Amino acid sequence: MTTPYPFSAVVGLDDLRLALLLTAVSPAVGGVLVRGEKGTAKSTVVRALAALLPAIDTVRGCRFACDPAAPDPACPDGPHPIGGPADTRPARLVELPVGATEDRVVGTLDLQRALSDGVKAYEPGLLAAAHRGVLYVDEVNLLPDHLVDLLLDAAAMGRAHVERDGVSVKHAARFLLVGTMNPEEGEPRPQLVDRFGLVVNVSAPRDAGQRAEVVRRRLAYEADPDGFATRFVAAEREYAQRIATARAQLPAVRLPDAELDRIARVCLAYGVDGMRADIVVARCAVALAAWHGRDRVTADDVRDAARLALPHRRRTDPLDPPGTDEEKLDEALAEAERQAAAESDSASDPGSDPDPDPGSGSDGSGSGPDSGPGGDDPDGDGPPDGGGGGAPRNPQDGGGPQGAGSAAPGTGGSTTPQPAEQNGAGQPEKAGAVASAGPAYRTKALRITARGDGGHAGRRSPAFARRGRVVGSRAPVGKLAGAPHLPATLRAALDRAGAEAVRPSGSSGASAAGVSAAGVSAAAVSAAGGSGAGASGAGRVSAGAARVRVLPRDLRESVHVGREANLVLFVVDASGSMAARKRMTLVKTAVLSLLRDAYQRRDRIGMITFRGADADVVLPPTSSHEVGVMRLAALRTGGRTPIAAGLRAAAATIATERRRDPRRRPLLVLVTDGRATSGPDPLRVAPALAGVSTVVVDCESGPIRLGLAGRLATGLKADIMPLEQLQASVLNSPAETGRAYRRAA
């Protein structure tokens, strides 16, 4: 539909509308990230914002939207005189699709023309089109890493750079960045989230009347878009006028020192990192004051700005569950007020004692696990919440856990191997027990050794890619897709010229002697856009009396080897043997560490568990690593060990994913002690996993080991890695890691 849905016709979503309006008033706030489930009008509201933005003046004929009052001195279409001819046009809303290429985002340099004709033909990209407007990224969490890097650079510097084979193009790219995402599909990189000034969580209305009104307006809009928009012309005009007025008033708004001090205290109490949060809250508070027509920032402005700008900056671990913690924010605001009042009282009454340490207050706030601003358990391994499977923690004294799970007298020190489905005390493991994971550590790199085709950029396995180490060259299929390989291009041109010289005379290579080795150096200079001695134009080179022209069919593109992302499928043994001797705590810690490693390497993940008589796909392949952490925390143990069922489920999951995405290669991580006590022999399932790269993490512990995991790895043609050797962190020495492993075992 050509007529956009009116901004003023949106029902509810007050925080989202306010955040968008504030960034329209002050683009320096830094943009908006909208998080919400599907069908919550995220895209509708963002697209409606463009109609409210004031029109802009641009230099006539400039493709980069230069301001005639202050043109960009480095504009590729410049230089432009100040105050020259200008055109007025609406501010643009430019959409960046998830599948866009790098050339489409930053612009395209026609390399064929640059090599053959010596012409630097540059076509601006989406960043240039969004200059002084809005850049909208739908499903921003699915944006490829290399495009995320481009956005981060442009947002930080306000300029876009194109660097290609000795040709450099720079232009201004200042835009309002707005992104929408569905949290079910995974979280974006923390660096990208931090670049957004404000983050808003939206959800569908829970009131029946509001839901009915949403449907009523949507149906009316679809039936008659122009007529529906006409009903809201006055409201739209009022919004646009208010934005223009607030923009004009923005420089006159004053931020008092008291409110600036309040902002600093709130950010400190909330536990954010860096200074970007303080700056964004200050800018947002100023924009709020201008939006409400005030000439100074108030405490209410600071509170509202903090509510929009702080919650997404508090995550210290990328795998922490995201979302707004209103209670913690209220505590931080109250703490800032209390500290300011205490300092004010102390300054007015020098003889009075300062307020006691907030961590030991009489209200009990310092005695619980949530006493600090972060509310974190300092040990990181507290008892599990619910489920009845956890026992109270006890100091490590060389013996087993005390209490109900203690070994009976005379059996606690026995070294006799216990049955697989019994715990360390020789008692059957209670089915459904839940163990907590310890702090994650840095793991050794698990990779697929064979090279892939680079279908998905990432950081795990070697693959042919558009970036990385140059290992060769090839003739392009159609248009040149990557960087040209100049030596190979010149060799192809020389070979073609030699063959053409031989063909008319019928003689052998002597007729090609006019193309000498000295000509290669001149060709390199000429093909790169320079003017070698005796060359009559770019792409031409003199070698004695002969001339060689680089033609499009001579072009060769570079072949790069980089890294790709994979599907990492975890198949975890959750049987009773894994719960014995607190082994499941070590297993969960290892899987949690591997999940973090997969997040850092941009992999998709999946998780299958097996216990009892069957296997469960607890997490279908997804990019949401946070969901994987939550499913791992809820993992229960007990029962027998059906390894074959787990492998069958893994084979079926991989087959389904290959049909969906044939270019993403799977890496199977099997976490087990290899002791199959239920179902058929797991090696009977091995043919179904032929060709799948597999790593078996051996969880067997104790002084007597049967080596069943190693036998299973041999049958699967997999690599084997003992659990105690998985850690690669420098925080603990191998000896300390081994001692901790043996203590827990």
Nearest to 141 by CA among 509, 530, 569, 625: 625
Quote the radius of gyration of the chain (alpha carbons, Å): 32
Residues 6+ apart with CB under 8 A from 64: 72, 75, 76, 77, 124, 128, 131, 171, 172
* Alpha-helix runs per DSSP H in 550-642: 576-579, 583-600, 625-633
Of 159, 217, 165, 164, the C-alpha closest to 13 is 217
In angstroms, the CA 23 to CA 18 distance is: 9
Vertex 607 angle, CA 601 and 609, to 5°? 145
> In Å, how far from its chain's centre is CA 692?
27
Report the alpha-carbon distance of residue 210 to residue 688 in Å, rounded.
Answer: 52
Can you tell me the distance from the alpha carbon of 46 to that of 302, in angstroms, rounded to the nearest whole number?
25
Nearest-angstrom CA–CA distance, 136 and 96: 6
| Separation of alpha carbons 312 and 436, rounded Å | 26
DSSP code at position 251: G
- What are 666's strand-pairing partners? 567
State whether residue 304 is helix, strand or coil.
helix
Q: What is the DSSP string of 472-541?
A: EEE--SSS--S-B-HHHHHHHHHHHHHHHHHHHH---GGGGGGS-HHHHHHHHHHHTT---TT--STTEE
Q: Decide: helix, strand or coil at residue 34.
A: strand
Q: Pick from 488, 419, 20, 513: which is nearest to 239 by CA?
A: 20
**Hey, which residues are catalytic here?**
276
Burial class (CB in 10 A: 0-12, 13-18, 19+), 417: exposed
Report the distance separating Cα 421 and Cα 10, nearest Å. Answer: 59
Q: H or E element: which one contains 614?
A: strand 614-622
Burial class of 250 by CB neighbour count within 10 A (0 to 12, 13 to 18, 19+)? middle
Kind and range of the H or E run holding 329:
helix 326-348
Cα–Cα distance for residue pair 495/546, rounded to 1 Å:
13
Q: How far is CA 396 from CA 74, 289, 382, 429, 699, in A?
A: 66, 57, 15, 21, 21
**Amino acid at the residue 141:** N
> If 0-12 CB within 10 Å is exposed, 13-18 middle and 19+ buried, where does residue 281 land?
buried
Compute the distance between CA of residue 710 and CA of residue 694 in angstroms, rounded to an integer: 13
Q: In a 10 Å sphere around its CB, with 0-12 CB exposed, 13-18 middle and 19+ buried, how is residue 39 labelled?
A: exposed
Round to whole Å and give the CA distance between 480 and 489: 12
